[in-house]
């Protein structure tokens, strides 16, 4: 059980740091542009970026499925994905989804302030 918790924390660390860094950059950019950071503006920006990240993460995860790979082989003449490439794309897609969920959570906290 302890090993699973350690692996989960290791997996969640990079998406959380990326989401936190993006939230800080957003607040800094809003302060430069608007001369102040309103929680509504920050929350709206984080929700937008989180939603966009969710869409991208789903697209990455879906592109790694064997059926989509077969369609791209037949339609576009691309080479088929290897099993390792499919697993890697799925992991990348999950990291996008997790980071986007963190952005939305940070946006919820910002809107509650």
Q: Contact at 8 Å (CB) between 98 and 20? A: no
pLDDT in tens, 58-109: 988 888 788 877 887 888 887 877 888 888 888 899 999 999 999 999 999 9
Q: For the residues 17-24, what does the mean pLDDT come to?
A: 92
pLDDT of residue 108: 93
Q: Is the pLDDT score of 46 beyond 90? A: yes
Is the separation of the CB atoms in 40 and 47 below 8 Å? no
pLDDT digits (tens, 9 = 90+) for 24-39: 999 999 899 888 888 8
Neighbouring residues of 15: CB distance < 8 A, sequence distance ≥ 6: 95, 98, 99, 102
Contact 107, 47 (CB under 8 A): yes
């Amino acid at each position: 059980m302890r090993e699973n918790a350690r692996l989960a924390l290791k997996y969640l660390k990079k998406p959380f740091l990326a989401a936190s860094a993006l939230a800080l950059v957003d607040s800094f950019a809003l302060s430069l542009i608007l001369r102040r950071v309103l929680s509504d503006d920050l929350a709206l920006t984080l929700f937008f970026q989180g939603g966009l990240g969710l869409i991208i993460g789903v697209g990455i995860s879906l592109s790694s499925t064997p059926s989509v790979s077969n369609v791209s082989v037949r339609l576009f003449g691309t080479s088929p994905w290897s099993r390792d490439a499919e697993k890697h794309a799925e992991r990348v897609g999950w990291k996008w989804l997790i980071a986007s969920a963190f952005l939305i959570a940070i946006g919820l906290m910002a809107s509650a302030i």
